[in-house]
Amino acid sequence: DTGVSQNPRHKITKRGQNVTFRCDPISEHNRLYWYRQTLGQGPEFLTYFQNEAQLEKSRLLSDRFSAERPKGSFSTLEIQRTEQGDSAMYLCASSANRGDYGYTFGSGTRLTVV
């Protein structure tokens, strides 16, 4: 097991395009989280899954954002009609238990919208 894997590592897209990111959690972890981090800020919670169920979505997650975890394994985060304000590091994390034991982050996907 090599930890939480995120792809791609970097993505440059033009404003208005759609992008999709993938996260593969640690295999035995049933919880998967998406966070967004901008320069000089801490990670901000976007959404999380327990197995395939999406249990919470932040109000930061506008209608242009959608996340799925279809079989309770990998997850995808799609951003439609990207805007320059979407430029950020998108972090995925997973845990075997509730967040009260902390969790392991992937390397992140850095999105730049030009």
Partner 1 sequence: QKEVEQNSGPLSVPEGAIASLNCTYSDRGSQSFFWYRQYSGKSPELIMSIYSNGDKEDGRFTAQLNKASQYVSLLIRDSQPSDSATYLCAVNRNTDKLIFGTGTRLQVFP
Say whether residue 25 binds partner 1 (CB under 8 A).
no
For partner 1, how many residues bind (rule: CB under 8 A)? Answer: 26
CB-nearer residue toward partner 1: 44 or 68: 44
CB-nearer residue toward partner 1: 79 or 89: 89
Residue for token pair 């979407």:
86
Residue for token pair 């972890």:
29
3-state secondary structure 27-54: CCCCEEEEEEECCCCCCEEEEEEECCEE
What is the per-residue binding string for partner 1 in 52-91, x denoting contact by CB under 8 A?
Answer: ---xx--------------------------------x-x
Q: What is the dihedral of CA 89, 94, 98, 99, to 10 degrees?
A: -30
Contact set with partner 1 (CB under 8 A): 31, 33, 35, 40-45, 48, 50, 55-56, 89, 91, 98-108
